[in-house]
Structure 1
């Protein structure tokens, strides 16, 4: 079979099975969704992409072609991740709904249709400050879209990217200056300056990574595990303190 034909078939399969993980079997084989032994593989480690499975020591079955290895997920285009959508048609997009949900007091709007939030009372966990003007705020993706793309999400189909980009568990009202300082960095490169929130931030970041089967690089995973262990020890120490 020609290389171009194999790759075309792989792309079709990705669009159909993108929500299913790649299975790394106990024998070290990477089984893609729809492959011959996929459904028979019951004991496995899950990865978001074949590339990630191979990078973690897996190998392709002899019957599989290396031409089926997916392209790099690093080619990020923000337009491929539809965000700030109005899924229920009430004129409030995801940003507005997050501002409303996370305001400590009732918000006010700048129009008669309650579409765009103008004022409220928000605690910015990145700084620890109270802010009242929506223009001072961004809605942060705790796991940035670009980071997710480079860690397995780039191979998702558009609907999965849309789901991730609008997942309320991944959204946080913060000051726009700190959100822009963070950029697309993970916790090993950037943490909120408010130290009291750092453990919670790392925990929420890791929960989203696990929820969407994203894949840490080895150094990133070591950092997350060390920080979570340190946070757990500190919590235990405070609990037993007189």
Structure 2
């Protein structure tokens, strides 16, 4: 599946969702057959030890120093994704439309609508999820990637989604075998995105994870 480019104000091109949606819109129909075909190309192995994992292994959080879409545009990745996924967005003055001040998220994970207001006590209502969690990636092949590749993975718009904060916390570093979005209508797109990312970065799946992904996609 190909990413779709989306032009955003004040910065350069940022990828839309791999399923083609953008701006908080509901996910369209997923190419389940294509996702299943890609899934069958992923190696199936056991989970490697978590030894050596830290967030720092994937570079500075929300680094703009990446070669994926949105890199080197002068805006940090978190704000790139907020700007992509929220609607009715306003910006902090004097930031070249880089820092999102307010907006509305039509959350794909829960199917709810969330008001975003930047602030110490309010920003966490909307968090940026790594669709393939970084800890999961570390245990399934990312240890073999270069530092630059891991930094790209952590900031790749295809692996990032603005979501309900508490739901993101609940997910933690789970894979598809142990966690899926509460919104059943988004599960096909969610699993498809995980497969896309794992294929792009040469990561593997466990047998339980592959079985869960296959089960979801066969029901799409």
Q: TM-score, normalised by structure 2?
A: 0.68
CA contact (8 A) 1:73 1:151 kept: no
Change (3 A) 1:76 1:179: same
1:218 to 203, 207, 213: 207
With normalisation by structure 1, the TM-score equals 0.62
Once the two structures are overlaid, the 10-residue window that deviates more, 73-82 or 157-166, is 73-82
Contact 1:123 1:131 in 2 (8 A): yes
1:53-202 counterparts in 2 under 5 A?
Answer: 74-82=51-59, 83-87=61-65, 91-105=74-88, 107-113=89-95, 114-134=97-117, 135=123, 136-202=125-191
SS across alignment from 2:87: coil
8 Å Cα contact 2:42-2:205 kept in structure 1: no
Q: Which has the higher helix share?
A: 1
Kindly indicate whether the alpha-carbon contact (under 8 Å) linking 2:198 and 2:204 is maintained by their aligned counterparts in 1: yes
> Is the Cα contact below 8 Å between 1:74 and 1:154 reproduced in 2?
no
Q: Is the 8 A contact 1:102 1:122 kept in 2?
A: yes
| Offset, 1:169 | 0.6
The range that moved more, 128-137 or 76-85, is 128-137
How many residues are paired up? 166
Q: Shift of residue 221 of structure 1?
A: 1.4
Give the Cα–Cα distance (whole angstroms) in 1 for the partners of residues 206 and 180 of structure 2: 18
Q: Could you say which residue in structure 1 is the equivalent of 2:15?
A: none
| Structure 1 residues without counterparts, runs of 5 or longer | 1-44, 56-70, 232-242
Map 1:25-44 to 2 at 5 A: none
Whole-angstrom distance in 2 between the partners of 1:177 and 1:76: 23
CA contact (8 A) 1:74 1:149 kept: no
4+ aligned runs moved over 3 Å, structure 1: 45-48, 71-74, 87-91
8 Å CA contact 1:73–1:154 kept in 2: the answer is no
Structure 2 portions without partners, runs of 5+: 1-40, 66-70, 118-122
Shift of 1:73: 6.0
Q: Report the CA distance between 1:74 and its aligned residue.
A: 4.3
Answer whether contact 1:73 1:153 (CA < 8 A) is retained: no
CA contact (8 A) 1:139 1:171 kept: yes
Find the aligned partners of 1:89 and 1:172 in 2 and give their Cα distance.
20
Contact 1:81 1:158 in 2 (8 A): yes
Query: How far, CA to CA, are the matches of 2:115 and 2:168 in structure 1?
Result: 17
Partners of 1:153 and 1:214 within 8 A in 2:
yes
The alignment's C-alpha RMSD in Å is 2.3
